[in-house]
Amino acid sequence: MSQSELERTYFQDGLHGNHCYGCGAWNDKGLQIKSFWDGDESVCIYQPKPHHSAMPPDVMNGGTIAAIIDCHGVCSAIADAYRTEGREVGDGEKIWYATASLTVNYRKPTRIDGPVTARARLTEKTDKKTMFEVDFFSHDGVLTCDASVLSLRVPSEWADPTGLFKHIDSNS
């Protein structure tokens, strides 16, 4: 592991209690992706496992790709909100975003035999919504997908460890 990898601050490490399948550090059966800033872009490097394959065993499953892109985009929105407020991810009052829209364009098959990389750029931002454009690359640098992730800021109940649905009034 390089020195720069040792010094990286990953967004997901500050999202205490996050049980999301894609980005939750507290979901031991999930993907547990890790995202970090590289200048104005956020980056996620992920090593797919053989069980992340599509029908051909050397190609990555599209749903897994979509989950990585989705979670990377949402976590980038969260990290950007903390950065805008001058705080480290997880410091002070929690900030949460959720996916409002995900569009993935699959351009080429993604090889599963090495780490994949998602690179996201902020393209739209208001107080309550954030849009990231994401490029997804195979380990050999081939662009295999591009995507848009629209995230909406959600209230703190979203992260309640006892469950969100206890807060929803079924008569509404």
Please report the domains of the chain, with CATH numbers, ordered by start residue.
10-167 (3.10.129.10)
pLDDT at res. 156: 77
List the one residue out of 19, 107, 21, 23 whose CA is nearest residue 60: 107
Residue 6 pLDDT exceeds 70: no
Decide: 115 and 46 in contact? Cβ < 8 Å.
Answer: yes
List the one residue out of 80, 82, 109, 107 whose CA is nearest residue 93: 82
Q: What is the pLDDT of residues 136-161, one digit of tens each?
A: 999 999 999 999 999 999 987 777 66
What are the residue ranges of helices labelled H in 25-161?
A: 62-84
Residue 172 pLDDT exceeds 60: no
Q: What is the pLDDT of residues 71-129, one digit of tens each?
A: 999 999 999 999 999 999 999 999 999 999 999 999 999 999 999 999 999 999 999 99
Alpha-carbon distance 54 to 56, whole Å? 5
3-state secondary structure 117-143: EEEEEEEEECCCEEEEEEEEECCCCCE
Phi, psi of 65 (to 5 degrees): -60, -45
Using a pLDDT cut of 70, give the percent of the chain over it.
88
Alpha-carbon distance 58 to 156, whole Å? 41
- Name the residue with higher pLDDT: 55 or 172: 55
Alpha-carbon distance 48 to 85, whole Å? 34
